[in-house]
Amino acid sequence: MNSSIKQWLYAGTLSLSIMACDSKLNVTPTQSIEASQALSTEQDVQITLTGAYDGLSDVNLYGGEIQYVGDLMGDNRDVVFGGTFATIDEIWRKTITTSNTVTRDFWLDGYSTINRSNNILAALDKVGTAKRNNFEGQARFIRGALYFELVKAFGKSWNDGSPTANPGVPLVLTPTSSVTDADYKARNTVAEVYAQAIDDLTKAESLLPATQTGVLGFGAATKGAAAALLARIYLQQQNFAAARDAANRVISSGTFSLVPNFADAFNDATKGPEVIFKIIVTDQDGTNDLNTFYASSLNQGRGDVRVQSKFRALYAAGDVRGTFFNTAGQNTFTSKFNDRYGDVPVVRLAEMYLVRAEANLRLGTSTGDTPLNDVNRIRNRAKAAPLTTVDLPAILLERRLELAFEGQQLPDIKRTAGTVGTTPFNSNNLVLPIPQREIDTNKSLVQNPGY
């Protein structure tokens, strides 16, 4: 066996054998190895970076779960979940148990992928100067994105009480090769986790190139992707000036553009210019779990998430988004995820226009363009009648119409202090429980209220 294959196996063993930072087996894993042994060359670091992206693309992360949790937990019967998975039905009904395996794997896979990023960041001295900034930027992008998603799901909303006191999730910023009692971390505050995510993504934006080429170009993060996630984070914090400026950086970079037709934004052959960051899916690797649950059986899906007429009625006549559905039997399904092997969109340029519009409106500014022009840019693409004036409810509705089924439903309800039906945004059952196996293992963890 040559040395490069040995190093690949070492790196793979390291990634697969390390569980989440606070997840500990009863015995120390016998196959874990020291990071210094595994990551001794630039090639090892690059292989581990590929592994980190593989983790990020898992069905329990950006391969689908992060998005459908955001939609189904925020749903008020705009859809019906008609599938047989009790774990996802719990999410839709907001009756999640602490033993739910879907939310458990969100936590586990999130921390496993963060650990891969930590290993990369700890081994940057093995990377030549030509690639070092890019590798660091990508590792920070992955870690920052996941800490944002974890704290958003398992912690209280930024505007619910005090983020400097509310428990978020544990911050682990160094590699874990085997778990000891010292690795049992308590939950950092919501504010601390947000600060870490912002720090990682800010550094990622400064380090990453505008576009990626070669081996790194296959679905890798870019400067625009980091800025786009920063825009989301700042909007969630109600830091409207920072959200506006981050979104404006993405738009004004010229790297991305709206595709001419709304349907083209969800077709792999045409959506390229609009998608800022995506998860690559091929027939050899990766799974599009949005197709699995949202698409009908006619489009290789399970047909579990069925769109109701009350939601479709929100679209005005002529708006092509209101007809971007398909029927199978008696049920209606979104057409956004019809391709079983379609890449999974994580963030699109259309969202950045809507972030900039909302932030500018709230601040009374017109950085980049006016709120009215930004909203109408999205509506014109959808063949919807242009607005003559715009207010906050109109922008929030436009987000609902444009970004439906892309994971932004519950975050928008929480940050605007809305309701899910009659359930207030700050209700206990709109926060995921810390998985019971983590509570049982790590005595430093405190469970969320209501569980």
Domain borders along the chain are 3-24+32-425
Check whether 17 has a pLDDT greater than 70. no
Q: CA angle at residue 274 from 270 to 279, to 5 degrees?
A: 85
Calculated CA dihedral for residues 356, 359, 361, 365, nearest 10 degrees: -80
State both tokens at 5: 């294959």
Q: How far apart are CA 387 and CA 375, in angstroms?
A: 8
Residues 375 and 390 sit within 8 Å (Cβ to Cβ): yes
Single-letter amino acid, residue 97: T
72 φ, ψ (degrees, to nearest 5) = -70, -35
For residues 256, 65, 305, 221, the Cα torsion angle rounded to the nearest 10 degrees is 10
Q: List residues bridging with 420 in a β-sheet.
A: 423
Asked if 333 and 323 touch (Cβ cutoff 8 Å), the reply is no
Q: Taking residues 273-301, what's their average pLDDT?
A: 94
Mean pLDDT of 265-292: 94
Q: Residue 216: is its pLDDT beyond 70?
A: no
Contact present, 31 and 10 (Cβ < 8 Å): no
Given a cut of 80, whether residue 6 has pLDDT beyond it is: no
In this prediction the pTM is 0.92
Q: Looking only at Cα atoms, what is the longest distance across the chain?
A: 69
SS3 content of the chain, % helix, strand, coil (to 5): 50, 5, 45
Weakest-pLDDT range from 176-180, 273-277, 315-319: 176-180
* No. of helices (H) and no. of strands (E), the chain: 17, 8
Q: What percent of the chain has pLDDT over 90?
A: 87
Which uninterrupted H or E stretch holds 309? helix 309-312
**What does the DSSP 8-state code read for residue 167?**
B
Condensed to tens digits (0 to 9), the pLDDT of residues 22-66 reads 333 333 332 333 444 579 999 999 999 999 999 999 999 999 999
More confident residue, 180 or 60: 60
Give the pLDDT mean for 331-337: 98
Half-sphere CA count of 371, side-chain side, radius 13 A = 22
Query: Could you tell me which of 233, 247, 165 has the C-alpha nearest to residue 415?
Result: 233
Residues across the chain: 451
With a cut of 80, say whether residue 21 has pLDDT above it. no
- 307 has which bridge partners? 79
> Rounded mean pLDDT of 386-394?
98
Summarised one tens digit per residue, pLDDT across range 73-88 is: 999 999 999 999 999 9
Q: What is the pLDDT of residues 101-148, one digit of tens each?
A: 999 999 999 999 999 999 999 999 999 999 999 999 999 999 999 999
CATH topology of domain 3-24+32-425: 1.25.40
- CA angle, 90 as apex, 88 and 95 as ends, to 5°? 155
Place of tokens 């399970």: 302
The average pLDDT across 206-211 equals 97
pLDDT > 70? residue 3:
no
The partner residues of 305 in beta bridges, in order of sequence, read 81
Q: How sure is the predictor about 436, in pLDDT bands with cuts at 50, 70 and 90?
A: very high
Per-residue pLDDT at 370 exceeds 90: yes
Give first-to-last CA distance, the chain, whole Å: 51
CA 410 and chain centroid, separation: 13
What is the Cα–Cα distance from 109 to 200, expressed in whole angstroms?
A: 19
Cα–Cα–Cα angle for 196, 201, 202, rounded to 5 degrees? 95
**What's the whole-number average pLDDT of the chain?**
92
Q: Which two tokens stand for residue 372?
A: 């009215």
> In which residue are the tokens 């709120």 written?
371
The position carrying tokens 């949790």 is 69
What distance in Å separates the CA atoms of residue 371 and residue 50, rounded to the nearest whole number? 39
Which residues, in sequence order, are CB contacts of 413 under 8 Å at separation 6+?
74, 419, 420, 425
Structure tokens at 49: 């970076």
Amino acid identity, position 437 = R
What value does the mean pLDDT take over residues 372-381?
98
